[in-house]
């Protein structure tokens, strides 16, 4: 291979220039990207896990943690990961793992008319979400509970941001642990759902299996899949969705730089995929 050919020189130049061109284009056409830079300036001096408020196009947004908010805003308002394309009708969003409610805020801003059902077990984060829904005039319901295969209670490790999760039977986290109610998603699922978003920090397989008999009601699924060392589950998740009639498109969000070296993961999960599933 001749790495000095005009093709490779041109590719190298394009690689250098593309980020700058993309940046200028997004600054010009994307209000969410302009807001991201403004939010960085506002929040850079704030301590973590402190409630703050920013504004977007005249509307307030309450947040619990600056860095996790900026990361989520980049995904949702800049990269538009929950965008289903043009629509002239009211859309229904079911949000398993609502956090502060950025997904419904984006849909309200982008689509105008939405119906919303969200689940968030962390009481502090849920209160932020309720305030955001009210401030943006979003009709719907936020259920302060985790989701699982059966109703009851669970031990929940809150982190004050977006990584709170239900603990396994052998796990402990006394400092930040609380007991939360657990609900079954199937008991709440509307008759017609345009997007089912599942972002529940490791419990996604259990939630998806519980609602499997009702997936015919769902047009599209966004699932943040978490992998743990030695655990199985991605193949089963893909098979479940494909057998329910969905086409699946996984995108790597977080993975080890050198997987063959088996370095210890920084947290409970070794990798994360954003899994898009929709009916063709």
CATH number where 241 lies: 3.40.50.150
Is 93 inside any structural domain?
yes
Query: Rounded to 5 degrees, what are φ and ψ at 191?
Result: -70, -25
Q: What is the pLDDT of residue 23?
A: 83
Is 49 inside any structural domain?
no
| Distance separating alpha carbons of residues 262 and 68, to the nearest angstrom | 27
Task: Give yes or no for a contact between 26 and 35, defined as CB atoms under 8 angstroms apart.
Answer: no
52-56 and 59-63 beta bridge pairing: antiparallel
Residue 17 has pLDDT above 90, yes or no: no
Q: Which two tokens stand for residue 264?
A: 């210890």
Is 254 inside any structural domain?
yes
Q: What is the pLDDT of residue 269?
A: 66
Is 193 inside any structural domain?
yes
Q: What is the pLDDT of residues 58-103, one digit of tens each?
A: 999 999 999 999 999 999 999 999 999 999 999 999 999 999 999 9
> H or E stretch including 154?
strand 152-157
Is 67 inside any structural domain?
no
**CB neighbour class for 164 (10 Å; exposed up to 12, middle 13-18, buried from 19):** buried
Is 189 inside any structural domain?
yes
> Can you give the residue range of the structural domain that contains 205?
84-278
Q: What is the pLDDT of residues 135-154, one digit of tens each?
A: 999 989 999 999 999 999 98
Work out the percent of the chain whose per-residue pLDDT is above 70: 85
From residue 75, alpha-carbon distances to 21, 33, 151, 252 in Å are 19, 10, 32, 13
Is 207 inside any structural domain?
yes
| Number of folded domains that form the chain | 1
Q: What is the pLDDT of residue 89?
A: 94
Give pTM, 2 decimals.
0.87
**CB neighbour class for 3 (10 Å; exposed up to 12, middle 13-18, buried from 19):** exposed
Q: What is the pLDDT of residues 225-264, one digit of tens each?
A: 887 655 557 888 999 999 999 999 998 877 767 777 766 6
Is 26 inside any structural domain?
no
Q: What is the pLDDT of residue 110?
A: 96
Q: What is the pLDDT of residue 158?
A: 82
């Amino acid at each position: 291979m001749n790495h000095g050919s005009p093709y490779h020189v041109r590719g190298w130049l394009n690689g250098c220039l593309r980020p700058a061109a993309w940046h200028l284009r997004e600054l010009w056409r994307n209000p969410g990207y302009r807001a991201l830079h403004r939010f960085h300036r506002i929040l850079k001096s704030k301590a973590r896990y402190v409630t703050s408020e920013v504004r977007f196009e005249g509307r307030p947004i309450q947040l619990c943690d600056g860095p996790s908010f900026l990361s989520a805003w980049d995904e949702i308002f800049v990269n538009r990961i929950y965008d289903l394309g043009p629509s002239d009708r009211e859309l229904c969003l079911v949000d398993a793992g609502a956090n502060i409610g950025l997904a419904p805020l984006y849909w309200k801003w982008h689509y105008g008319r939405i119906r919303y059902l969200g689940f968030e077990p962390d009481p502090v984060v849920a209160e932020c979400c309720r305030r955001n829904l009210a401030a943006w005039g979003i009709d719907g319901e936020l259920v302060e509970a985790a989701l699982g295969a059966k109703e009851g209670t669970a031990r929940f490790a809150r982190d004050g941001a977006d990584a709170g999760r239900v603990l396994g039977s052998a796990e402990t986290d006394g400092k930040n642990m609380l007991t939360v109610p657990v609900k079954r998603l199937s008991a709440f699922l509307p008759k017609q759902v345009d997007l089912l978003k599942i972002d529940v920090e490791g419990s996604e397989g259990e939630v998806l299996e519980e609602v499997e008999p009702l997936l015919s009601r769902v047009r599209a699924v966004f699932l943040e899949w978490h992998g743990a060392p030695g655990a199985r589950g991605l193949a089963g998740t893909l098979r479940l969705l494909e057998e329910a009639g969905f086409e699946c498109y996984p995108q790597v969000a977080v993975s080890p730089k050198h997987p063959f070296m088996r370095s210890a993961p920084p947290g409970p999960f070794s990798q994360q995929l954003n899994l898009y599933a929709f009916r063709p």
